[in-house]
Structure 1
């Protein structure tokens, strides 16, 4: 029997994990207050959070971090980073204790209203937003200082516009503390910032979830160089896929490119990959800090499509 008041009851019958949309919670004439909330859905991101979380806390009005069965102290570290940034009052930590289907055929076989579905997981996570705009952000995405400034401006300009914001991101594969490779083949462009409302919820697609938005929505494309996506050469970047053979599908060309890059770097062939650029940090500076604070801000534009290899 559906739970009273639930907009999307989970089929397992646990009312704690039913989806209750905030725009249905109050008076119909009372819109959500203006502002931008960033929602993280994370698992074992303790390695990345010291780079990922502080700039986001500086850029948006509120952060919701949903931890999904981490075993590396991600949830505790997130609380500590928020406290050190003086942002505890703008930080909400939530726990999602269910095993979530991996991208690919596991996701396809899981009903979208199950607590094990990526679709339900995302909708439940975003149902905790209490501002008029929300931002889907991953636990491996690092804003540059320019990115912080752009998001700060957007947080007060977007409310009431109905626009969707697409943010280019640049994958950076870290070899060690001083060496990394940045992939500038394409903008890897997708929408990350949306209004909160019934036309902007997550639905099930073939490999993963997607967020719907009206075809009439204005699309704002942010500049290049605002965000990097961290990859680590010593980790399995495809563990969240049920079957890596699914990467051969044309629908997932971005993942095909990621596998091409990782394979080449592990075989010592980074310079053979078009548009892949080697970056070496100066002594005493971690390469992630060097990329975000120095290399990207100083790199000539346009970034994408620049022929490689290039030492920096």
Structure 2
């Protein structure tokens, strides 16, 4: 007899209904599963996947209609890391509404909703903890070690884990700009359970958690968010109107301002940006994650945003 459905998708596609493991009577094993929701991240995965595979028990990669071979690259990278048996690739073939106004207009239970996409993806996790991760976020070696050590310590408690990430705009193989103006702090690791599922917020999905849950904040310098100057990094957002001017979305506004300033040759004027040059023969992503961040004096980030606005900015 099939397990009851927790969230039936609006379109009546049973393969994309959500049934949580606790509803299905499936026990959750100790450990941490990293969940990627990706589209066309083949370029980033050779940097992104290896340190994550070294840090967690399992990786679940949900491919949302990539046409650049993302799934094949993920399998190859995992095999090369000797972790092919710890990677699961799923296909989510439905167009997902872009963050911002499109998301707001899409019913939460539609297969086109970010909220449903996330709930469906995370419903396939079978460990006690899950980690949301993006296909452009690269852990340093230190970050990978800290997560690996932390994952087993979390098993005896219920806690969420937040870590700062530092946007890195790649100009070419040897040059990049790190944005160290603000502390972009967001929870990434959560327990699995009925109190930790996703609901619809104004501009994106939001993971719920009960009041009083312990919060662990990891140090700065453990992860960079890679932005490529030769790519459209804002295709999943509208780049006009309230989506970028509303202070609730200051982080996206800042990313857009940084992108424009670098393209126009005025990065030094914007403030908060640090140019990094890699030595000959070393890719800028490798240099930043392997050497530069480890050697840079702390604190890396000194807030430049006024406190009144900072209080209203999502962390």
User: Under TM normalisation by the shorter chain, which class is it?
Assistant: over 0.9
Corresponding residue for residue 310 of structure 1: none
For residue 9 of structure 1, what is the aligned residue in structure 2? 8
1:234-245 matches, within 5 Å, as 234-245=230-241
Of 253, 258, 270, 1:261 maps to: 258
Q: State the TM-score, normalizing by the size of structure 2.
A: 0.94
Counterpart among 60, 63, 67 of residue 59 in structure 2: 63
* CA shift for structure 1 position 220: 0.6
What is aligned with 2:313? Answer: none
- CA displacement 1:146-173 (0-9 Å, x = unmatched): 0011100111001131100001000000
TM-score by length of 1: 0.94
Distance 2:268 2:23 in 1: 53
1:179 maps to: 175
- Name 1:127's counterpart in structure 2: 123
| Match 1:89 to one of 80, 85, 92 | 85
How many residues align? The count is 302
Structure 1 residue runs without a partner (length 5+): 308-312
Return the alpha-carbon distance in structure 2 between the equivalents of residues 152 and 216 of structure 1. 25
The alignment partner of 2:47 has SS state of: helix
> Does the residue aligned with 1:66 lie in a helix, a strand or coil?
strand
Segments of structure 2 that go 5 or more residues without pairing to the other structure are 305-315
1:75 is paired with a residue whose SS is helix
* Contact persistence 1:105–1:243 (CA under 8 A): no
- Report the CA distance between 1:306 and its aligned residue: 8.2
Residue 305 of structure 1 pairs with residue 302 of structure 2 = yes
Q: Do 2:162 and 2:218's aligned partners in 1 also have CA atoms closer than 8 Å?
A: yes
How much has 1:237 moved relative to structure 2? 1.2
Output the CA distance in 1 between the equivalents of 2:155 and 2:14.
31
Structure 2 vs 1, CA of residues 135 and 4 (structure 1 numbering), >3 Å: closer, same or farther? closer
Q: Deviations over 1:41-80 (max 9, x none)?
A: 0000011000000110000000000000001000111011
Q: Distance in 2 between matches of 1:47 and 1:8?
A: 34
